Amino acid sequence: MRAGYLYVLVHPSDPSLYKIGVTVLRPEKRLTQHNNHYEKHAGRIVKETGQKWELKTYIAVADPYWAERAFWGVTHFPDIPYLGGIEVQRMDWQLVQRGLDAAKHAGVRPGPLRKPSVRNSDWMLKQLEGSGITMIGRYSGLVRGMEFQCEKGHVFKESPGDVANRKSCPCCVDWNWQSGPKKGLRASLR
């Protein structure tokens, strides 16, 4: 996530016509783009009227898309179907100001409370600590079967995820498979 800006453009042909947008560029650069891209909605207005958008104001925000969501959330526009993501609307300035205030206080979108765990070979070794099981083969993920050896010398091929979860040897302890290709097999016959 990059910090950026929420900006408000106004069109000289109609002082209540505003373009609301977000950018990680300088707002002045984004203004130039809107005034020159005639295939976009804001650019078509420039082409039709012969007048360019003007930068009314902008605010720096930590999370531009979250700020934009907060802006539109205090207006009635999210309730109108079929706007198709067009951010050009006729509004009174009080409504725009209410949106700007909401965007200023939006902060950043809630994210994961903790860092997702990494399940690599180091993680697998930690899972096996104290179980008496060692990895023989090369670790290549939780699902792909690999060879293990228990402290009694049994060599078996299982998915690392199953071994990490059960922390036992399927030859020493019956894993009691209820379905799949190992259903009904005794552990010692696998």
Contacts 24+ apart (CB under 8 A), 129-133: 131/167, 131/168, 132/169, 133/163, 133/167, 133/168, 133/169
Strands 14-23 and 146-150: unpaired
Percentage of residues of the chain with pLDDT beyond 70: 85
pLDDT tens string 39-71: 999 999 999 999 999 999 999 999 999 999 999
Model pTM score = 0.58
Render the burial of 134-171: b for 16+ CB within 10 Å, e for the rest. ebeeebeebeeebebbbeeeeebebebeebbeeebbbb
> Residue 8: which of 91, 132, 131 has the closest Cα?
91
Burial class of residue 20, CB neighbours in 10 A (0-12, 13-18, 19+): buried
- Residue 35, C-beta contacts closer than 8 angstroms, at least 6 positions apart: 42, 43, 46, 52, 53
Task: Please give the pLDDT value at position 52.
Answer: 97
Contact 6, 67 (CB under 8 A): yes
pLDDT tens string 148-164: 999 999 988 888 888 88
Give me the residue spans of the domains in the chain.
Answer: 4-104, 121-189
Does residue 112 have a pLDDT over 60? Answer: yes
Does residue 105 have a pLDDT over 80? Answer: yes
